[in-house]
Structure 1
Amino acid sequence: MAGELIPRETLLVRVTLTLVIALPAVVTRMAGLDPPAVAAMVIFGAGVLAAAILLMWAAETARADMSGALALAVLALIAVLPEYAVDVYYAYAAGTKPAYTAYAAANMTGANRLLVGVGWALVVLAFALGVRRLSRRGGRHATRGPGRRDVRLTSLHRTELGFLTLAAVLGFIPALTGEIGWYMSISLIVVYLLYLTQIARRREADVEELAGVPAWLVTLPKRVRRTATWGGFALGGIIVFVSAEPFANALVDAGASLGIDEFLLVQWLAPLASEAPELLVAVMFAWRLRDADAIGTLLSSKVNQWTLLIGTLPLAYRAGGGAWSLPLDSRQTEEVLLTAAQTVLGLSLLIDLVFRRWEAAVLFLLFAVQFVLPGEDVRLYLSGVYLAIGFSVLIARHRDLGRAMATVVRPR
């Protein structure tokens, strides 16, 4: 399981640097300090980033003591807990602060669109650069035929694609009803639990070769390794607990003080901080030509974010004093529609288990358009473009869609 080991000195530098990044957030929160909004955004944003790194390392290391696809899915969920913590806080606070309702929707849609529009495209770019690097060296991977130009998934990933299809259909309901209702919570959480059940029954996937800090940690004696793993989970969880709430509030306050739309800060900066470690791990896998591991990791994250993350928001809203359904205004409805439409296109491009360079370029360019041409009309037009391309591709690949849906009822 362990890949190329990093030198001990490099290991210590990485761990120390991560803890140093987290330290200001812990000290500021424990000392009860109240820094200016922009400073707080940086301090606690760094804390969220450090927590995400620690949780990612712990989750990767835990694979040495946990086997099976179910374990991989659970560990993938743990690795994105910082994103959940920030978004759930916004939904919880919205129960007494109605303005925070918009931030809960913004964070959720931003995380999903960033993952697909940027994360998936980065995997293809890193893989292409990795192939080019080995081609120049005359590496053995360079002679495997034209298929090595494209990122490929394994047939086992049809389970994720099948459940993402179910979630993609359900994802349009909030855009049509103007709310994320309690019935959405039930439906999406059930879909996620069924997903966990199905992958627990399927054939065990190939064990991933670890790299970086986890690759070094798995070489330790079992007792020491497990202590390090649970210590990483505990420390990461504490830092998330310390950082998530003040970071979420600081984003809103910083937007107001800087004259920047706080909706945009919440939508893009928070997910970028919480998901950066996972994106970096996926890019590293792709660079080493482990394309199935790279895109498979992000696909699993997309499934849990488009099911469990959305499903928890109404529950958090209710726990915070709100109603059973999280209301959406016109802008939030458009954002959810755009995210659901992007999900359809992303699904259609992966459904045949091959992710081509031009497909990644299409996803990234459509993602970038929203920043060049912001506005209500653009969001609606983009949704139409996503859906037109997505449904056209799904129709052409209907047999692959059928194979993916078959895994929902018949585990592999």
Structure 2
Amino acid sequence: MNSLRTGSARKLIVPLGIVVLVALPGLILRIAGIHVEPLVGVLAFGAAIVAAAFALAWAGEAAEMDISGGLAIGLLAIIAILPEYAIDLYFAFSAGSDPSQAAYAAANMTGSNRLLLGFGWPFILLVAYLAFRAAQKRKASIDPDVVAKPFAIRLPGDARVELGLLLIASLVTLTIPITGQIHVALGIVLLLIFVYYLYRVSQAETDEPELVGVAQSIGSLSTVARRSTVIAIFVVSAVVILLLAEPFAESLVAGGKALGIDDFLLVQWLAPLASEAPEFVIAIIFALRGKSAMAIGMLLASKVNQWTALVGSLPIAHMIGGGGWALPMDARQVEEFVLTAAQTLLGISILLTLKFSGRWAALLFALFAVTFVVTGQEARYVVSALYAVIAVVLIVAHRRHLWPTLKAPFEFEAQQETQEPSART
């Protein structure tokens, strides 16, 4: 047993060493304060963030040996979206003394939310489908009689905890477009929902995970060594992501400005693209390994984090920065929030059956893409209405799943909904 653990420790040297080597140039540039050209900055800082994301994926899988899978995914999602928190809270804090920064805080928040759901979910399904097809071809080469099975990502029953809390949070945040502001009181309510979410997923039963590769090497360590390694990777990766998120985003924005791209669009789309990179990379890794449910589960957990903790933190950061009791939103920001809220409602309604298939991924992506073509206020409200109408139709069609979803966050017995073997990718 000791020799096995020693071998596992040795197997970690190479992959973790590669992570360190890839992250080192970006860290050196950041710590030394060396100014570089935007392209160099994107490559150096981006590579470091991606390396940290790989390490997080390994640690996140291994962490399931000691804590519930839901909590592991939740913590992983929190760390992965730290760049988003850092950038958004910076804008909200600055808005306390400079009201013009409030628009950027709202733009960054809505952009990251819509990017996560409109692009992230469909892209992960595409990656999972390609991995599934590759696995099917390998099976067919061994056994020609293997019948191709339909593809869909099926989430476990305990995913209703995230869906239920996301639905509740969405109903609570309806006050934002109605009042045209995010009040501190609302922020506290959303933060309490987030804290309850972490508590709830921590109570789920822990199953023995199926680990492969580097995660398996970490899991094979002794209990103390495994937990120490997981915690160390979480902490170091979080520090790397926090340190490099700002220069990475700045490099992207600087590059965009050089190309003549509007500042608002840069903050809304290029900066979130940078800050969402770690969680996208982690989700892609899971999907490629055939853990598509875990990949979508992580993006769902990230959505819960953003819609509760991130939105809830903005008015508090604004107040600490010298602002009032509410973060104001102008007409354009209200429009952006309505569009984001409507998209969120559609995402929830699609997952009510705990099944995510290609047609719904295509719909999410198509509606997301339309907003880049249709930029007028009235037209974007039409798209918002389309999101909402489809969502309501789906909720009515799947109404038998609505009450189980709403009550799931408050039920502490294990969720055991059946999954079809063919759908586990």
Deviations 1:7-44 (A, max 9, x none): 99996665455434433443333323344566556654
Match of 1:309 in 2: 310
- Structure 2 CA distance, aligned partners of 1:344 and 1:269? 24
Matched, 1:189 2:197: no
Matched, 1:127 2:122: no
Q: Judging changes above 3 Å, is the alpha-carbon distance between structure 1 residues 38 and 326 closer, same or farther for their aligned structure 2 residues? A: farther
Q: CA deviation at 1:362?
A: 0.3
Match of 2:101 in 1: 100
Q: For residue 341 of structure 2, give the secondary structure of its aligned residue in structure 1.
A: helix
- Structure 1 CA distance, aligned partners of 2:343 and 2:144? 33
Q: Judging changes above 3 Å, is the alpha-carbon distance between structure 1 residues 382 and 197 closer, same or farther for their aligned structure 2 residues? A: same
Question: Are 1:107 and 1:267, in contact at CA under 8 Å, matched by a contact in 2?
Answer: yes
- Structure 2 CA distance, aligned partners of 1:319 and 1:115? 28
- Structure 2 CA distance, aligned partners of 1:374 and 1:207? 49
1:63-82 equivalences under 5 Å are 63-67=64-68, 69-82=70-83
Deviations 1:70-104 (A, max 9, x none): 45423432332222222222222222333322222
- Structure 2 CA distance, aligned partners of 1:93 and 1:54? 32
Match of 1:363 in 2: 364
Q: Residue 285 of structure 1 aligns to which amino acid in structure 2? A: F
Greater Cα offset, 58-67 or 365-374: 58-67
- Structure 1 CA distance, aligned partners of 2:264 and 2:131? 37
- Structure 2 CA distance, aligned partners of 1:10 and 1:119? 32
Equivalenced residue count is 405
One of 177, 180, 194 as aligned partner of 2:179: 177
Greater Cα offset, 382-391 or 292-301: 292-301
Greater Cα offset, 234-243 or 246-255: 246-255
Aligned alpha-carbon RMSD (Å): 3.2
Q: CA deviation at 1:263?
A: 2.1
One of 150, 156, 159 as aligned partner of 1:157: 159
Match of 2:241 in 1: 240
Q: CA deviation at 1:149?
A: 2.0
Structure 2: gaps (5+ residues):
1-7, 414-425
Match of 1:109 in 2: 110
1:230-309 equivalences under 5 Å are 230-248=231-249, 254-309=255-310
Question: Are 1:49 and 1:274, in contact at CA under 8 Å, matched by a contact in 2?
Answer: no
Q: CA deviation at 1:344?
A: 0.4
Deviations 1:349-392 (A, max 9, x none): 00011112111110011111122333333322211110110111
Q: Judging changes above 3 Å, is the alpha-carbon distance between structure 1 residues 195 and 250 closer, same or farther for their aligned structure 2 residues? A: same
Q: For residue 180 of structure 1, give the secondary structure of its aligned residue in structure 2.
A: strand
- Structure 2 CA distance, aligned partners of 1:308 and 1:225? 29
- Structure 2 CA distance, aligned partners of 1:192 and 1:277? 21
Q: For residue 67 of structure 2, give the secondary structure of its aligned residue in structure 1.
A: coil
Q: Judging changes above 3 Å, is the alpha-carbon distance between structure 1 residues 79 and 330 closer, same or farther for their aligned structure 2 residues? A: same
Structure 1: gaps (5+ residues):
1-6
Q: For residue 374 of structure 1, give the secondary structure of its aligned residue in structure 2.
A: coil
Q: Residue 347 of structure 2 aligns to which amino acid in structure 1? A: G
Question: Are 1:157 and 1:296, in contact at CA under 8 Å, matched by a contact in 2?
Answer: yes
Q: TM-score under structure 1 normalisation?
A: 0.86
Question: Are 1:345 and 1:389, in contact at CA under 8 Å, matched by a contact in 2?
Answer: yes
Match of 1:377 in 2: 378
1:50-65 equivalences under 5 Å are 50-65=51-66
Match of 1:3 in 2: none
Q: Residue 294 of structure 1 aligns to which amino acid in structure 2? A: A
Match of 1:386 in 2: 387
Greater Cα offset, 217-226 or 345-354: 217-226
- Structure 1 CA distance, aligned partners of 2:14 and 2:351? 38
Q: Judging changes above 3 Å, is the alpha-carbon distance between structure 1 residues 352 and 164 closer, same or farther for their aligned structure 2 residues? A: same
Question: Are 1:163 and 1:303, in contact at CA under 8 Å, matched by a contact in 2?
Answer: yes
Question: Are 1:180 and 1:314, in contact at CA under 8 Å, matched by a contact in 2?
Answer: yes
Greater Cα offset, 314-323 or 228-237: 228-237
Q: For residue 220 of structure 2, give the secondary structure of its aligned residue in structure 1.
A: coil
Question: Are 1:48 and 1:273, in contact at CA under 8 Å, matched by a contact in 2?
Answer: no
Q: CA deviation at 1:215?
A: 3.1
- Structure 1 CA distance, aligned partners of 2:12 and 2:72? 26
Q: Judging changes above 3 Å, is the alpha-carbon distance between structure 1 residues 89 and 10 closer, same or farther for their aligned structure 2 residues? A: farther
Greater Cα offset, 251-260 or 275-284: 251-260
Question: Are 1:134 and 1:142, in contact at CA under 8 Å, matched by a contact in 2?
Answer: no
Question: Are 2:252 and 2:274, in contact at CA under 8 Å, matched by a contact in 1?
Answer: no
Question: Are 1:317 and 1:323, in contact at CA under 8 Å, matched by a contact in 2?
Answer: yes
Deviations 1:268-294 (A, max 9, x none): 233323333332333343344433222
Q: TM-score under structure 2 normalisation?
A: 0.83
